[in-house]
Amino acid sequence: MPKNTKIAVVIMTLGLSCALAAAEGNVERGEKLAYTCLGCHGIEGYRNAYPSYRVPKLGGQKAAYLATAIQGYRDGTRAHPTMKAQASSLSDQQIEDLAAYLASIGNSTVAAGGSNTTGIEAMATCVACHGQNGISVSPTWPTLAGQHEDYLLHALNQYRDGTRTDTVMSQMAAALSDDDVELLADYFSHLEGLETTVVE
């Protein structure tokens, strides 16, 4: 078994174990907490001011991954002043509730995407956790299908430069070239999947 495949199997096993140990989120309580989140994430094409990129789509995203991300902003392993301010007062249970609600709206069953991986050597490692069609195979790893291309570029570069340290992605992304990052972001962004969490 190739080294990258072995690493991915270990990562998936650890991710599944963490997900099973996580607290259950309450969608109704989470809906009350999500009001300020949707002020950015509920607006199609809304952009972060600096650096400029579209804020991530959350509709259809995995609840366990959302909880990990929010905890990262709260605990400082992800750097973003606005997200830090929003997450800093949240308890673990509130984070689980919020994640459960955000995961419940939008496209909860992402459709199968394409499989054209020509010229992307790094893809083999990516699909082990994020799926050939960009749909995560573990509840703790994000679905990438349909995410904004510029957000994927921003996130991958933060893992590469050590700005984000909340997952094993820093190690996985370190070997990626600039061309790899651009190809991966382009590929996953064009798959059918995540949606902006617009609430009617």
What pLDDT is attached to residue 124?
Answer: 81
What pLDDT is attached to residue 10?
Answer: 44
What pLDDT is attached to residue 99?
Answer: 96
Inter-residue contact 180 to 133 (CB < 8 Å)? no
Q: How far is CA 145 from CA 40, 48, 125, 127, 165, in A?
A: 20, 20, 16, 11, 23
- What is the C-alpha separation between 49 and 58, in angstroms, rounded? 19
What pLDDT is attached to residue 128?
Answer: 85
pLDDT average per 10 residues of sequence, the chain (200 residues) = 49 44 82 93 92 92 94 94 96 97 71 48 82 86 94 96 88 91 92 79
DSSP string, 115-154: ---TT-TTHHHHHHHH-TTS--SSTTS---TT--HHHHHH
All structural domains of the chain: 3-189 (1.10.760.10)
